[in-house]
Amino acid sequence: MTKFFLNDKEVTAEENETIWQVAKKNGLTIPHLCYSDKPGYRADGNCRACMVSIEGERVLAASCIRKPSEGMKVSTTDERSEKSRKMILELLVTDQPEKTDCHDPDSHFWKIADDLEVKKSRFDKRESKIVPESDNSHVAMAVNLDACINCNLCVRACREVQVNDVIGMGNRGHVSQVIFDFDDPMGDSSCVSCGECVQACPTGALMESNLLNENGKKVVNADRKVDSLCPYCGVGCQLTYNIKDEKIVSVDGREGPANHNRLCVKGRFGFDYVHNPERITKPLIRKKGIKKDPKEKLDPLNPLSHFREATWEEALDLAASKLSSIRDAKGGDDALAGFGCAKGSNEEAYLFQKLIRVGFRNNNVDHCTRMCHASSVAALMEAIGTGAVTAPVSEVKNAEVAILIGCRPTQNHPVAATFIKNAVKKKWT
């Protein structure tokens, strides 16, 4: 532990904590752009928006990367560091599209500029011929590098957090810019569409394209947020749905033990099914006289050609009467079984087994996880005496050896795979 002074108040830093982190712990958020305090993001110290002064030191220090030493006296409120932070923002505002015409006026960048009361710049803009053109080649993400501040957060998001190694910085000096693979359009690159870069970008240079109009301006603003859980694979990523007019418009990864804010393409962009008009939202019962014909194609937009709408009571009564007539005619044990979905909650699983045992009067009840998990349960039982998972995937970072058999985590459980890739990159390369 290190004791030092922050604006004349004695504070304590844990090992490896930076001045910025200690300040935040003490209720003071120092402006920051190239630094993200989300798990997995390394400080890079390149934007200088977080400068503070340290007594006895000639130059200002970037608080996001500088660690305090015993007895150090740090000031965030002196005129020199305040002016420096403001100047950095003014310089960056110079090359941004005007706030009234920018891609995302609600971005972190404009929030920091507003906090520092930087509205416009006294400096000359860069020549328009070196401003990168918009890239709308990707189906779900828009690239508008006229708003890019080269903070490098998307590069770390792609290379170090999700370990996809698609984004890098190309060129040198004042023409350096974000590129995908070998300067390919994003849509043609090897991008796996996890959207981590969009989530990390502080300026709106990388954004979900469905939020923008044809000129690349944000026109879709969520009116509420709902915390939820990704409905796809078993990794269990926590997320937040951004909702406008009762429709999901975008998704943010949320801090959770399994994902630490990360998402994959499914969790990030796979939400359009919710509003798909082909979804059945009311119980349907086959119309009298319409026989089942496997060769016949049903138009999913028009199920009423074969079915009629019913109330839940009527539909459940019908299903119950048909199932009990099978049970009574053919003998419960042989005729009926129940396979539940492993994605149901514990309460749902309990009710499901109750239905089978009490309603069907047998113990033929199982769920889908046993199909894919049976071999690992047997191996775990034999090796350590329990079939339950013993550690989160992220604990792979503490393993000496990781053996993967018969699985493709990067495709089937992409966020879990990021933690394996993190460990491989850190420890074994």
Asked if 49 and 34 count as a contact pair (C-beta separation under 8 A), the reply is yes
Please tell me whether residue 60 binds ligand FES under the rule CB under 6 A.
no
C-alpha–C-alpha distance, residues 62 and 46, integer Å: 8
Contacts with ligand SF4 by CB under 6 A: the residue count is 28
Question: Among residue numbers 267 through 286, which ones bind ligand SF4 (CB under 6 A)?
Answer: 267
Answer with the entry of ligand FES, ligand SF4, none that 154 interacts with (C-beta below 5 to 8 A by kind): ligand SF4
Asked if 250 and 210 count as a contact pair (C-beta separation under 8 A), the reply is yes
Answer with the entry of ligand FES, ligand SF4, none that 259 interacts with (C-beta below 5 to 8 A by kind): ligand SF4
Contacts with ligand FES by CB under 6 A: the residue count is 12
- Number of neighbouring beta carbons within 10 Å of residue 110: 21
Least spacing, CB of residue 65 vs ligand SF4, in Å:
16
- Vertex 248, ends 247 and 250: CA angle to 5°? 145
Of 194, 199, 221, 196, nearest to 210 by C-alpha is: 221
C-alpha–C-alpha distance, residues 107 and 92, integer Å: 14
- Number of neighbouring beta carbons within 10 Å of residue 295: 4
Answer with the entry of ligand FES, ligand SF4, none that 64 interacts with (C-beta below 5 to 8 A by kind): ligand FES
Please tell me whether residue 64 binds ligand FES under the rule CB under 6 A.
yes
Of 48 and 413, the one with the shorter C-beta distance to ligand FES is 48
Of 92 and 415, the one with the shorter C-beta distance to ligand FES is 92
SS3 376: helix
Window contacting ligand FES (CB under 6 A); options: 29-37, 282-290, 321-329, 368-376: 29-37
Of 33 and 356, the one with the shorter C-beta distance to ligand FES is 33
Question: Among residue numbers 222 through 251, which ones bind ligand SF4 (CB under 6 A)?
Answer: 230, 232-233, 235-237
Please tell me whether residue 206 binds ligand SF4 under the rule CB under 6 A.
yes
Answer with the entry of ligand FES, ligand SF4, none that 47 interacts with (C-beta below 5 to 8 A by kind): ligand FES
Q: How many Cα atoms within 13 Å fall on the side-chain side of residue 247?
A: 11
Q: Which of 19, 33, 178, 420 binds ligand FES (CB under 6 A)?
A: 33
* Position 283, amino acid: P
Least spacing, CB of residue 263 vs ligand SF4, in Å:
4
C-alpha–C-alpha distance, residues 66 and 51, integer Å: 10
Who contacts 33 (Cβ-Cβ below 8 Å, separation ≥6)?
47, 49, 50, 92, 108, 109, 112, 149, 151, 202
Q: Which of 2, 41, 45, 315 binds ligand FES (CB under 6 A)?
A: 45
Please tell me whether residue 261 binds ligand SF4 under the rule CB under 6 A.
no
Q: What is the dihedral of CA 393, 386, 372, 267, to 10 degrees?
A: -30
Window contacting ligand FES (CB under 6 A); options: 47-55, 183-191, 307-315, 377-385: 47-55
Least spacing, CB of residue 89 vs ligand FES, in Å:
11
Q: Which two tokens stand for residue 83?
A: 């002016």
The contact pattern for ligand FES, residues 74-113, with x = CB under 6 A and - = no contact, is ----------------------------------------
Of 87, 297, 253, 31, nearest to 162 by C-alpha is: 253
Asked if 268 and 191 count as a contact pair (C-beta separation under 8 A), the reply is no
DSSP 383-407: HHS--S--S-GGGGGG-S-----S-
The contact pattern for ligand SF4, residues 128-157, with x = CB under 6 A and - = no contact, is --------------------xxxxxxx---
Phi and psi (nearest 5°) for 275? Answer: -105, 15
Please tell me whether residue 62 binds ligand FES under the rule CB under 6 A.
yes
Window contacting ligand FES (CB under 6 A); options: 33-41, 207-215, 249-257, 296-304: 33-41
In terms of phi and psi (left: phi > 0; alpha: psi -120 to 50; beta: otherwise), the region of 51 is beta
C-alpha–C-alpha distance, residues 252 and 108, integer Å: 15
Please tell me whether residue 259 binds ligand SF4 under the rule CB under 6 A.
yes
Question: Among residue numbers 168 through 197, which ones bind ligand SF4 (CB under 6 A)?
Answer: 178
Least spacing, CB of residue 207 vs ligand SF4, in Å:
9
Asked if 97 and 107 count as a contact pair (C-beta separation under 8 A), the reply is no
C-alpha–C-alpha distance, residues 235 and 262, integer Å: 11
Please tell me whether residue 35 binds ligand FES under the rule CB under 6 A.
yes
What residue ranges bind ligand SF4 (CB under 6 A)? 148-154, 178, 200-203, 205-206, 230, 232-233, 235-237, 259, 263-264, 266-267, 413-415
What residue ranges bind ligand FES (CB under 6 A)? 32-35, 45-50, 62, 64
